[in-house]
Structure 1
Amino acid sequence: MKTMGGRQFWGDIQFFQGWKIQQHVISQHYRLLDPKDQRHASGSLEHCRDRLAEMKAARQIPPMQGKAVILIHGIIRSSKSFVKMKESCEQKGWLVVPFDYPSTRRTIPENANFLGKVIQSLEGIDEIDLVVHSMGGLVVRSWLAQQDVVDPRVKRMVMLGVPNRGADMADRFRSNLLFKAIFGPAGQQLVTEANSDFISNLPTPPFEFGIVAGGRNTLKGYNPLIRGDDDGTVAVSSTRLPGAADFILIPILHSFMMNDPETIAHTLRFLETGVFRESGKPQPIPVPQAATVP
């Protein structure tokens, strides 16, 4: 049966060559989807895994290998928001993992649990890179907080408009009933560091990462409700996480970053070389030095 592929009520827990096993956040039951979002099984996890094993054998699906790129969407969105990015990564010969999670129905740490299960399921993969948009970056950082040892296969990550220091808009609307209903528990965790210690306690990635921010490169951005330059949703200052290997600012709105040709070109270059610009010159964000006691 054709499905919508999982939006706000399903979380991925296993991936294999485009096939997914997902869990429903309310009923807790599972289903198996093929790369075209056709459902092939529903019920227990064991049943879905058995059915996947049958499909592997019947269709002679080869094992996974090489490099995988996990695409992680932001709040309210789905992996379908990465259409052009997905196509561009596939043209490089990389296995693309379009990760879906119930962004408005579970907290950020709960959604990080789904990500952890998907990463564990990538058997045969030698290298894992991440491309994350908006809250997707916080899901990754929350996943890192849950790990005693980070999977050594994770090599690089590109953050697109990630509110690493929280979002002014969440501060402004966090008490609004409509905001609470639409954005759910994760929306309450998007507030700035001044209003919550959740984001400030998230770890800095121990692997190489670069940051793409949208903005006008002026004192005021696209949204007058946000302090300083911004992409219409996230302040440029909030995206700047110390420790980044490279940073680049481009004139693009938050919602269009993932499929913008310039953003895609920068992303692919970073995943291949560790820098955004063709010149090969990075603009890292240094980690502040701890003050020394005289």
Structure 2
Amino acid sequence: MRQIFYACSVLALLFFLSAFCQAEETAPSSAKIQNEEYPAKGLVMKTMGGRQFWGDIQFFQGWKIQQHVISQHYRLLDPKDQRHASGSLEHCRDRLAEMKAARQIPPMQGKAVILIHGIIRSSKSFVKMKESCEQKGWLVVPFDYPSTRRTIPENANFLGKVIQSLEGIDEIDLVVHSMGGLVVRSWLAQQDVVDPRVKRMVMLGVPNRGADMADRFRSNLLFKAIFGPAGQQLVTEANSDFISNLPTPPFEFGIVAGGRNTLKGYNPLIRGDDDGTVAVSSTRLPGAADFILIPILHSFMMNDPETIAHTLRFLETGVFRESGKPQPIPVPQAATVP
């Protein structure tokens, strides 16, 4: 009986992993790390992977400066992910200044949309969303962070540095998937004053009340190894107060949830309707300006045409539906003592 239970638990965890995402890059070898840290002078080359070990700290017209979470060194990447410098932060910034002048890269201006991926994923998971936003004439900032190697607040620090680096940008919108929404809320908790340029955010399948599947597997060694410290913070409010203490965004935000619109969703291990990974009830954060439920699995939301259409409409108008009629999630009124 115990063997049957163990086998079922393993199968359930594998289902969870496949539903959540597919790891897009593997960890770099020590030789790769050494090559990243000590490149030949002036050598421009494609990066060697290991996205889970790098966090963005600066963005300029598609160029990025990233920091390695283990060695703590920095690298400068161009929009094609080719490395132009590696070493100290000062060296990378000096090299970026040289590239700006040599290539006559214009300053940033107008509206920027920051795309924030979920756990294990990278900015590459937003390919179609990125293209659609660029067609609107918006500057797209595909934010990368080491989701499985650092806690959610630590990853929020990376986000804060990127937002601060967006000089010349007048307006900032956010499109977040899964844990990416919790990274934003954690960033908000770190701010005395929220950057007034941030206007709107669309949440895609964000576990705003935690994930049942994280509750189920948080003690599993495989889960701990793959999802890291942030995975332990994804548990529901019944098992941790981390998520419940995160602030509600002070700017306009809308929520897209995936589900079947039935009493049971795609995953029988999750209570109520769900997208295969996150319960619909967990996505519902009071204060949302609009909410919409669509029949889509968690891992495919970011590149789903219907989801993209709703997202772009909300960023432009503040509502998801063509009718212009929102379905807000009201904030519960505090009980008054008679």
TM-score, L = length of structure 1: 0.99
How far is 1:3 from its partner?
1.0
What secondary structure sits across from 1:41 in the alignment? strand
- Structure 2 segments unaligned to the other structure (5+ residues): 1-44
How far is 1:167 from its partner?
0.1
1:83-132 CA distances to partner (integer Å, 9 max, x unpaired)? 00000000000000000000000000000000000000000000000000
| Bigger radius of gyration | 2
How far is 1:7 from its partner?
1.2
1:153-192 CA distances to partner (integer Å, 9 max, x unpaired)? 0000000000000000000000000000000000000000
**Distance change >3 Å, CA 266–CA 4, structure 1 → 2:** farther
How far is 1:198 from its partner?
0.1
1:44-69 CA distances to partner (integer Å, 9 max, x unpaired)? 00000000000000000000000000
What secondary structure sits across from 1:291 in the alignment? coil
Considering fraction of residues, name the structure with more helix: 2
Query: Aligned residue for 1:58?
Result: 102
Query: Aligned residue for 1:223?
Result: 267
How far is 1:6 from its partner?
5.6
Decide whether the 8 Å contact of 1:4 with 1:37 is kept in 2: no
What secondary structure sits across from 1:67 in the alignment? strand
Q: Distance in 2 between matches of 1:81 and 1:140?
A: 18
1:202-221 CA distances to partner (integer Å, 9 max, x unpaired)? 00000000000000000000
1:250 aligns with 2:275: no
Decide whether the 8 Å contact of 1:155 with 1:207 is kept in 2: yes
How far is 1:5 from its partner?
6.2
Decide whether the 8 Å contact of 1:71 with 1:96 is kept in 2: yes
Decide whether the 8 Å contact of 1:5 with 1:37 is kept in 2: no
How far is 1:4 from its partner?
5.0
Query: Aligned residue for 1:92?
Result: 136
What secondary structure sits across from 2:52 in the alignment? coil
How far is 1:12 from its partner?
0.1
- Structure 1 segments unaligned to the other structure (5+ residues): none
In the alignment of these two chains, the number of paired residues is 294
Task: Report which stretch shifted further, 5-14 or 208-217.
Answer: 5-14
Q: Distance in 1 between matches of 2:241 and 2:313?
A: 34
TM-score, L = length of structure 2: 0.87
Q: Which runs of 4+ in 1 moved over 2 A?
A: none
How far is 1:267 from its partner?
0.0
Query: Aligned residue for 1:184?
Result: 228
What secondary structure sits across from 1:8 in the alignment? helix
**Distance change >3 Å, CA 5–CA 271, structure 1 → 2:** farther
Identical aligned residues as a percent: 100
1:241-279 CA distances to partner (integer Å, 9 max, x unpaired)? 000000000000000000000000000000000000000
CA RMSD of aligned residues (A): 0.6
Decide whether the 8 Å contact of 1:169 with 1:226 is kept in 2: yes
